[in-house]
Copies of this chain bind each other. A is one copy, B any other.
């Protein structure tokens, strides 16, 4: 299969760049120092490639991601780094042999784990991102409560999501100091072997975490590209030019093919004006014609991939593999 035969829009992954990203990360964080986050690609084919670089524990954001990873034989050590009010489906997986660790930050989520029969948890700690996580000072008593109810508390988790995307490395380091101070204190009260934290933007500066939950590093996006990390943008959306006039051109890649929360995508040789449902209006640097193919670089990888059914791994003009984006939905 050649790229020219793909329907557009289609997600392309440059195989060489992907492998270079995976290698750079596994060199920096070998084996279980990295717990790759599958939410960034939602694809067991890509997760299997990550496993081939030595990472066998994975991070998931949804129950469906945990189920899909288990189904694909990648269930050695899955962390659902998120709270769930009803863990019934996870309990069923545990009984079928999957190792699952669940993030908890309240008595209710501890109860959900106990009821469902999920035996292992991490205490999720608020380290500054206004989202999930208990107050650091409550972590110890939650761990005590979980243990009293028969759960094994493996340690703590604290995701510094308010820091990972900041462009200045110095600012990231400064703010991380504060966040990880909170997580260290919580861990002192909780105990356990695991301190799970970090993302692509802090993978090399978070020195407290025993494991880093990075995901975006594999495919990258234009938002993370600004940080000057040693990972290349391996993901693009292939689009076809469908309309041309003297001032702009239009390609068939719009809001339903791109995560838009980080703003407009970029194109390789042109300036994006705006996106509509199925259109990208852009000003090309040099003339384009109807039928030309262009590459669109998404601003945010995670919600972009979630719109697509396949990741096409390409090598030059050849499609080497087409991986289903099989961890979508809930």
Interface of A toward B, CB cutoff 8 Å: 7-10, 39, 61-62, 82-86, 105-106, 108-109, 126, 130-135, 161, 240-245, 247-248, 250, 252, 255-256, 259-261, 273-279, 281, 289-291, 300, 302-303, 306-307, 309, 328-330
Apart from A7-B330, A131-B243, A309-B329, what are 10 other A-B pairs with CB-CB below 8 Å? Answer: A61-B277, A82-B252, A83-B243, A85-B241, A109-B242, A130-B247, A131-B276, A132-B279, A260-B260, A277-B303
Q: For the complex formed, measure the closest distance between the CB of A232 and the CB atoms of chain B, giving whole angstroms.
A: 22
User: In the complex, are the beta carbons of A255 and B303 less than 8 A apart?
Assistant: yes
A261 to B255, CA, bound (A): 7
Question: In the docked arrangement, what's the CA distance between A113 and B37, Å?
Answer: 45
What would 10 A/B residue contacts be, using CB atoms closer than 8 Å? A10-B330, A82-B242, A83-B243, A106-B244, A109-B242, A130-B281, A133-B243, A161-B276, A255-B259, A255-B300
- Contact assessment for A303 and B260 in the assembled complex, using a CB-CB cutoff below 8 Å: yes
CB-CB nearest in chain B for A241: B85
Known A82-B242, A259-B255: A131·B309 in contact at CB below 8 Å: no
- Indicate if the CB atoms of B106 and A243 lie closer than 8 Å: yes
Copies of the polypeptide in the assembly: 2
A190 to B32, CA, bound (A): 67
Q: Are A278 and B62 in contact (CB under 8 A)?
A: yes
A83 B290 Cβ-Cβ under 8 A: yes
